[in-house]
């Protein structure tokens, strides 16, 4: 329920916001159309003619924008080439009020075009700007949805590819052999060796991951140094294998060469014997030892990530379109309402004048 005090305050504002300006209009020599405009948008009070120059008086009369003036005012305007295009409005008061809502309310114009780009511009009849903002909006939304859908489909395809071609059992078995071939000591190696003894990769994620204790595997990885093809012993492995099914898991197995041994064609494949003497238990810093399936997985991962990056780019364009449209509506309002005017000229008998009004 609205309290009586609130109702009185609203009535007070209504009186001085609408009735007050209308009553002021009655005391003027303006016709009734001015009184109607006063109800809708308020009275624009001009200084007394004796306090301003004739040129200033003409500019003030021109800035009011009303269609009808007294004979004296018409003479002042015509003397400076102003007011010739002023015609009585044929639009109904409701339409005037609707237009004024967008042309004389900066906050609403800003909010309207911020929510729906081009809406305030369309309300003012700026169809080219409105169309441009709406076109960018529609195109951005379409491209965001299209690239997101493509990215999801490609990610699902890559994950299915990885599930069928990367095995944690093969990777763990290779890690044990890697230590043996390179004579590496590791306090957790024997626990991993006992775990993979007699195991062959099933290339089935449920079977292979049930056979490996990820905690033991990670303990070994934390104490495993890189043995590279340039015979340099580097620091320990930079990563541990993430949990199966996680975003990091699918990203790392096709990104870092320490995980290359888990791909199906790494250990036993004709390609490595055909192309070069393949050092299975060394890691090439440039990826020279990685197998074709590793690079195929990397390509598939890059494709869906690229789709998501493009969707993100168009999301930024969408947000930018809302921001630019909102500020365009606001500043267009400012130019319309405040009549930012730059005028220069030489008046008879007067000095050169330059007026910039905000």
244 domain-assigned: no
Which residues, listed in sequence order, are joined to residue 346 by a DSSP beta bridge?
352
Each residue's pLDDT tens digit, 253-280: 999 999 999 999 988 655 555 444 557 8
How many Cβ atoms sit within 10 Å of the Cβ of residue 108? 15
The DSSP secondary structure of 235-251, one letter per residue, reads EE-S--PPPTTSHHHHH
**What is the average pLDDT across 77-85?**
50
235 domain-assigned: no
Structure token digits, residue 298: 């990397």
137 domain-assigned: no
User: How open is the CA angle 21-22-25, to the nearest 5 degrees?
Assistant: 90
Each residue's pLDDT tens digit, 305-324: 999 999 999 999 999 999 99
Return the pLDDT at 122. Answer: 86
18 domain-assigned: yes
CB 167 within 8 A of CB 212: no
41 domain-assigned: yes
Return the pLDDT at 79. Answer: 54
Each residue's pLDDT tens digit, 145-178: 999 999 999 999 999 999 999 999 999 999 999 9
209 domain-assigned: no
309 domain-assigned: no
Percentage of residues in the chain with pLDDT exceeding 70? Answer: 59
Distance between CA atoms of residues 303 and 286, nearest Å:
21
Q: How many domains does the chain have?
A: 1
Distance between CA atoms of residues 31 and 33, nearest Å:
6
Q: Within 90-126, where are the H helices?
A: 93-103, 106-115, 119-123
Each residue's pLDDT tens digit, 16-41: 443 333 334 334 444 333 333 433 44
Half-sphere exposure in the Cβ direction for 130 (13 Å, CA):
12
Distance between CA atoms of residues 155 and 169, nearest Å:
24
**What is the average pLDDT across 195-224?**
95
User: How open is the CA angle 113-118-119, to the nearest 5 degrees?
Assistant: 65
User: pTM for the full model?
Assistant: 0.62
83 domain-assigned: yes
How many Cβ atoms sit within 10 Å of the Cβ of residue 156? 11
**Would the CA dihedral through 63, 64, 67, 69 be positive or negative?**
negative
pLDDT of 90 above 90: no
Angle between helices 32-41 and 93-103 (to 10 degrees): 40
Task: For residue 112, give its domain range.
Answer: 4-125
Structure token digits, residue 147: 């690239």
- Phi, psi of 266, deg, nearest 5: -75, -45
Each residue's pLDDT tens digit, 94-153: 545 555 555 557 778 888 888 999 888 888 888 998 899 999 999 999 999 999 999 999
């Amino acid at each position: 329920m609205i309290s009586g005090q609130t109702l009185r305050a609203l009535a007070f504002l209504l009186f001085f916001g609408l009735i007050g300006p209308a009553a002021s209009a009655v005391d003027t020599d303006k016709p009734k159309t001015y009184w109607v405009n006063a109800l809708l948008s308020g009275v624009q009070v001009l200084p007394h003619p004796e306090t301003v120059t004739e040129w200033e008086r003409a500019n003030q009369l021109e800035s009011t924008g009303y269609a009808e003036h007294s004979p004296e005012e018409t003479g002042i305007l015509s003397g400076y080439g102003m007011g010739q295009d002023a015609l009585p409005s044929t639009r109904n008061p409701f339409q005037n009020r609707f237009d004024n809502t967008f042309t004389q309310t900066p906050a609403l114009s800003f909010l309207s075009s911020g929510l729906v780009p081009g809406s305030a511009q369309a309300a003012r009849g700026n169809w080219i700007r409105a169309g441009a903002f709406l076109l960018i909006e529609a195109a951005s939304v379409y491209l965001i949805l299209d690239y997101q859908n493509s990215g999801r489909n490609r990610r699902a395809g890559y994950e299915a590819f990885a599930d069928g071609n990367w095995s944690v059992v093969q990777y763990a078995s290779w890690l044990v052999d890697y230590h043996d071939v390179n004579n590496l000591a590791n306090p957790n190696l024997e626990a991993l060796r006992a775990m993979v003894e007699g195991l062959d990769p099933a290339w089935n994620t449920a079977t292979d991951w049930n056979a490996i204790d990820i905690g033991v595997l990670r303990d070994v990885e934390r104490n495993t140094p890189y043995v590279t093809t340039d015979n340099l012993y580097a620091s320990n492995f930079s990563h541990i294998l993430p949990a199966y099914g996680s975003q990091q898991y699918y990203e790392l197995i096709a990104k870092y060469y320490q995980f290359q041994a888990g791909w199906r064609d790494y250990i036993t494949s004709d390609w490595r014997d055909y192309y070069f003497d393949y050092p299975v238990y060394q890691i090439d810093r440039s990826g020279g030892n990685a197998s074709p399936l590793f690079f195929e997985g990397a390509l598939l991962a890059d494709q869906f990530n690229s789709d998501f990056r493009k969707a993100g780019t168009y999301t930024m364009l969408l947000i930018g379109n809302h921001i630019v449209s909102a500020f365009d509506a606001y500043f267009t309002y400012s130019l319309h309402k405040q009549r930012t005017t730059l005028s220069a000229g030489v008046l008879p008998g007067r000095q050169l004048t330059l007026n910039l009004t905000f």
